[in-house]
Structure 1
Amino acid sequence: MMALLSVSSLHKRFGGVEAVKDVSFDIDAGIVYSVIGPNGAGKTTLFNLITGVYTPTSGEIHLDGVPVGGKQPNELAALGVARTFQNLQICMNMDAIENVMVGAHLRLDRNPLTAALRLPALARRDRELRQEAEQLMRFVHLDAFITARADSMPYGALKRLEIARALALKPRLLFLDEPAAGLNPKETLEVDALVRKIADSGVTVVLVEHDMKMVMNLSDRILVMDYGSKLTEGTREEVRHHPGVIAAYLGVQA
């Protein structure tokens, strides 16, 4: 069966620095796939290449067998690819529910005449989107913030709000860049359960995360990067006991 996402011999150079070096892997549909590695290993650069923030220097990226390397983020979003970022990208001057609705913008009728005339169909669609956004906020356990402004919400809730906004796109492939960063243990457990819930709903999740307990609890497959290169890839048990992974994280010789 063809992989949902296939990355082959991917390279990215910034001047004389090679941030990603000859990285290849496949991701099957319906799994949680984690990318781990020490700081500076190239994890976020890899995410940025796949999601269209950066253009690869060389190499290929295929989604369902179709080449997508170098496509813009909006083009990838139209193909069902959504993501969150390390640093929150929330519109703090908007209501929480409006932030979620923004994630559905590609599914809106963008006919300027319809918008200018405020036809009943447009108003009906706005109501439907608001109802969808409410459902997504409940899905990520933000029921208490449905009527709140984003700038009144605690940090942990904002992390889940960003995930809800990404889900509003109705993605088939969701990239989460350090969703547990900055969270306390209780909030981390909530995100852990949410990621599994998303995967169980049929969305393929690709995760960058430093919390190894969370990674080992969730992941079906793990890619380990070090100095921009692929160190190893495998199941949780294979990665846990790989001598090169131990060396990369603990600074000891393999």
Structure 2
Amino acid sequence: MNLHIGTERLRAEILADGGCIASILADGRELLLRTPWAGLDDGAPMTGSAAEWHRRYRGGWHLLLPRPLGPATVGGIAQPFHGEAAWRKWRLEQISATACQAQVLLRSVPLTVDRTMDIRDGELRVTTTVRNEGPAEVRFGWAEHPAFDAGLFDGGRVDLDGKDVPVVPLGAGAFEDRSMSTGRASVLGPDGLAVDLRWDAALLGRAYVWQERRATTGFPWYPAADALAVEPASQPHDHPGDDLGTLTLAAAAELTSTVTLTVHTRPTV
């Protein structure tokens, strides 16, 4: 199942599979990474959730929760690579031509996640509410994982709180984990294309910048992925493997936060 929302200027496709925002079209131009094997889920699964994630990975924008990092066993419960939320089937509901809602109840922790995607002019607003359905405090991690088509930004840069991370050339890869004083990042292309991300840095105080520019000759990329991801996150990437994350939510409590994506075309200099 999938839903489409948007305006003539900006459109998005949302999948029940993982609650993934699979496509963001800005004036007809696809902004998000789409792997050549997107949607090809047939065949035998691979051993281990990290390998299976990469076998099926389509690109797009996933929510990574309750453990947004590598696979781990926490409290006797196996947590898959990038967290249970990105593996589940979400319930989708169309609200209007420009908005929809997605919901999932996790089983590895007693959390319900509601996401509303709303497009207004050149802005996509993703508002997420996490609610603790259990009788005790829950500890968890949270990361947003929008992966862009890096080819659109070739020769450009990522601005993180006013500090630049260059887009690496084709054939290279890179990874950055930065502490964020404000939740402001911009992905800037040399032709004037700019994608601005804004979020609550008090909640998501890190930003990961993952670049895979057809650099990996073996599995999983071969090298067929040209990706640039800017990922607001609640914990450092080297967070201990025996813990879900740095956030806590009391019994019956909920937490709401919004990430906005705005597309601009700026004059080149």
Task: Identify the TM-score tier after normalising by the shorter chain.
Answer: under 0.3
Bigger Rg over Cα: 1
> In proportion to residue count, which structure has more strand?
2
The TM-score, its normalising length taken from structure 2, stands at 0.25
> In proportion to residue count, which structure has more helix?
1
